[in-house]
Chain A
């Protein structure tokens, strides 16, 4: 496993930043993007392998502190891996808050921090060993993502639901003002869009023609108190977002090939005067059979036996932290 990581991952992350930095120093956004895309291309099989490891990280992290949110994290793992290891043009080494010339990602449903932390570490933002500090005193890996402790890769605190879309829209507008053609990505829970601020932001994005944003809703049909249909039915999500002036796509979120296809397609729709929304169908708890499809594992950690069971279903592809 260690060999695997030291070959392609170190090739990727030791060389990329230097060249990226020189591209950026000339403020040549186009050159930087062209370069990064070439470098980060990875096969679907490789990405699925990374996803296996990320799922192991998630269950191990929440087990270690007997708290955290494994369900949504597991469901969104394929999306995160596709984004950070294939889609995003970003600089994991030498994190810069302003992210000039980089694509940005905002996690609005901050409670699925385990999957984000794992993917950030595995893609080189901070040492993988730091995942062992998740939710522990003095950690940079707070229960919900924050900028307060200076964890590389995080640009705003999230977890109080409904706020991430507004922040991402501001960041997208700053990119336009700066002449930066990069794209801003966001992820939201389906329960989260019950928050009114989401719809304020939805209206704002269309009005201001913010077409450098690709938002995704994790449509797993679950929230803490049960199925969204029972708690507060979301109605016709496609019709709602289209009525708000967004271009709406749909995507199967637990099939790596489909995720890659969906994100690539969404990218091709940017720059056309409309914000883009992907409705991503996932299964909460995906990859661990006893956690799948139920809100029971929204915010509950596995015990020792359950952890062993879960790890038995997930291949250690990159080496556990």
Chain B
């Protein structure tokens, strides 16, 4: 039975804030930096509890990335906080040189990723961040799907040695990941076993994928549902095994199709297990102003879109 209990609704950034506070309590070396967005990133609780371990950097993201790299020299575990747009595109070279190439243990924590940032429009809705970060050698890229998973991911990356990009969002979304579900970096969460089609989803699209899968199952189509929270390193093994069993794969993400989860799954399948594939994501386009719901609908990121992609890919295998 494909059934996940919704235990509440909250934004994934609040999961980050709660995880950061907890990580700070567990490890005195955890420190945090923010570029004038403390409230948006939900970093208030950490600041209140550990003011001496919190560094306001002002509207200066390039400097923030460098300072974070420096704090690791001396054993600190810095978490940087700003919007996904300013966490990646704006500071790509700083991350590349001072963090990734230098192998620094910095946790780049990025909120308001994707279209669901909403009304602020395309200037702030980054849809390329996963691609940019994934291209960096040695960078771990994580895109959790709800409050509980984001909190668990935040705690997991604090214990992990190496640079990490953690991507989360602004709107309140259903909480459905069990609070005690273990979070293992690089390991897919196999949410449901099925034999007709594989649906692989990340971030906000995981709940949409659950809804699509429920609809498909109601029609008698058996769905193998996989949550990829760690986009890099990709759990190729889980993807290939599932694809071999179902012979049809759908990916779903709130990101450009080029360079995102879909691209990476396509690459893995082409190399290891060529399989018909349909991808749900933003197709080479910028976003625009609107409510998160309107934008997800307009850009084809609804559960109906995942459902339709599943039907298409099932037709392809016949």
Which residues of chain A from 163 to 195 have a CB within 8 Å of any chain B CB?
163-175, 177-178, 180
Instruction: Check if B60 is an interface residue, CB within 8 A of chain A.
Output: yes
- A171 to B75, alpha carbons, bound, how many Å? 9
Binary A-proximity of B95-122 (CB < 8 A = 1, otherwise 0): 0111001111000000000000000000
- A180 to B60, alpha carbons, bound, how many Å? 27
A122 partner residues in chain B, CB cutoff 8 A: none
- A98 touching B74, Cβ below 8 Å: yes
Question: Smallest CB–CB gap between A100 and chain B, Å?
Answer: 7
Which residues of chain A from 136 to 171 have a CB within 8 Å of any chain B CB?
146-148, 155-160, 162-171
B96 partner residues in chain A, CB cutoff 8 A: 160
Q: A197-B66, A201-B66 are in contact. Are A148 and B101 (CB under 8 A)?
A: yes
- B62 touching A197, Cβ below 8 Å: yes
A148 partner residues in chain B, CB cutoff 8 A: 101-103
Residues of A in contact with B, size category: 35 or more
Q: Which of A98, A100, A167, A203 contacts B69 (CB 8 A)?
A: A167
- B74 touching A99, Cβ below 8 Å: yes
- B73 touching A171, Cβ below 8 Å: yes
- A156 touching B62, Cβ below 8 Å: no
Q: Interface with A: B50-58, B193-201, B308-316, which one? A: B50-58
- A167 to B103, alpha carbons, bound, how many Å? 13
Q: A166-B70, A173-B70, A204-B67 are in contact. Are A196 and B101 (CB under 8 A)?
A: no
B60 partner residues in chain A, CB cutoff 8 A: 200, 203-204
Question: Smallest CB–CB gap between A169 and chain B, Å?
Answer: 5
A104 partner residues in chain B, CB cutoff 8 A: 73
- A156 touching B70, Cβ below 8 Å: yes
- B69 touching A178, Cβ below 8 Å: no
Instruction: Check if B206 is an interface residue, CB within 8 A of chain A.
Output: no
- A172 touching B70, Cβ below 8 Å: yes
A165 partner residues in chain B, CB cutoff 8 A: 66
- A196 to B94, alpha carbons, bound, how many Å? 12
Instruction: Check if B175 is an interface residue, CB within 8 A of chain A.
Output: no
Question: Smallest CB–CB gap between B171 and chain A, Å?
Answer: 31
- B63 touching A200, Cβ below 8 Å: yes
- A132 to B98, alpha carbons, bound, how many Å? 27
Binary B-proximity of A213-257 (CB < 8 A = 1, otherwise 0): 000000000000000000000000000000000000000000000
Question: Smallest CB–CB gap between A228 and chain B, Å?
Answer: 22
A157 partner residues in chain B, CB cutoff 8 A: 97-98, 101-102
Instruction: Check if A208 is an interface residue, CB within 8 A of chain B.
Output: yes
Q: A166-B66, A167-B69, A169-B67 are in contact. Are A160 and B97 (CB under 8 A)?
A: yes
Binary B-proximity of A114-146 (CB < 8 A = 1, otherwise 0): 000000000000000000000000000000001
- A178 touching B74, Cβ below 8 Å: yes
A175 partner residues in chain B, CB cutoff 8 A: 74
- A201 to B58, alpha carbons, bound, how many Å? 11
Q: A157-B97, A157-B101, A158-B97 are in contact. Are A169 and B31 (CB under 8 A)?
A: no
**Interface residues, chain A, with chain B CB atoms under 8 Å away:** 97-100, 104, 146-148, 155-160, 162-175, 177-178, 180, 196-197, 200-201, 203-204, 207-208
With contacts A167-B69, A170-B68, A207-B58 known, what are 12 further pairs, Cβ within 8 A? Answer: A98-B73, A99-B73, A100-B74, A104-B73, A155-B73, A156-B102, A166-B67, A166-B69, A166-B94, A172-B70, A177-B74, A204-B58
8 contacts between A and B (CB under 8 A): A98-B75, A166-B66, A167-B73, A170-B68, A171-B73, A197-B62, A197-B63, A197-B94
List the 10 closest pairs (A to B, CB-CB), nearest first.
A170-B70, A166-B66, A174-B74, A200-B63, A200-B60, A170-B67, A167-B70, A171-B70, A170-B71, A197-B62
